[in-house]
A = this chain, B = another copy of it.
Amino acid sequence: MTDLLANRDAWLMTNCSIARTLDVVGNRSTLLLLREASLGTRRFDDFAARVGISEPVAAARLKQLVADGLLERRPYQEPGQRTRDEYVLTDKGAQLVPVLVALRQWGDTWAADPAGPAVWLAHHDCGAEVHAVLRCAAGHDVDPDGLDVRPGPGLIRTNAE
């Protein structure tokens, strides 16, 4: 990260996309519920139990996730069972999977049990391990310190020079 830092005082980050994303998924239980949804959990009780949160919290978070459009609630029926509702990831929710993968790989590296991580992610088509990586539009791999911050159209500047 280089350059433009001198002007950062003149910027108001009221339109920061990270902050806006965190307004939606910025707490532990929400992200863990999305983890479960991405792993295929669909039923209310399973969400609560697997995430390790109480039912009232699970109900509130799931409701919010549906309201935000990350999960869709839809009826389903197992053979011989009555109809129920299940929660499934929408496309909008699925696009948070890279966040989950990046969180997982940081934990694998820096916070895993000595025995190793509990699970790992394989590419469905070829079986190789999957990682979140940074890549530029020109196709280069990018290091975390190889990023430049550039002002975008939604940037609000203060009236300071």
Taking beta carbons and an 8 Å cutoff, which residues of A are in contact with B? 1-2, 5, 8-9, 11, 13-24, 26-28, 31-32, 35, 38-41, 46, 50, 52, 92, 94-113, 115-138, 140, 142, 144-156
Mostly helix, strand, loop or mixed at chain A's interface? mixed
Return chain B residues, CB-CB under 8 Å to A50.
8, 13
- B1 engages A39 (CB within 8 Å): yes
Each complex incorporates copies of this chain amounting to 2
Q: Decide yes or no: A117 and B154 within 8 Å by CB, A17-B105, A41-B8, A112-B20 being known contacts.
A: yes
18 A–B contacts, CB within 8 A, in A order: A16-B32, A16-B107, A17-B103, A17-B105, A19-B32, A20-B111, A21-B103, A98-B105, A99-B99, A102-B132, A117-B153, A118-B151, A121-B147, A122-B149, A127-B148, A128-B137, A128-B138, A133-B135
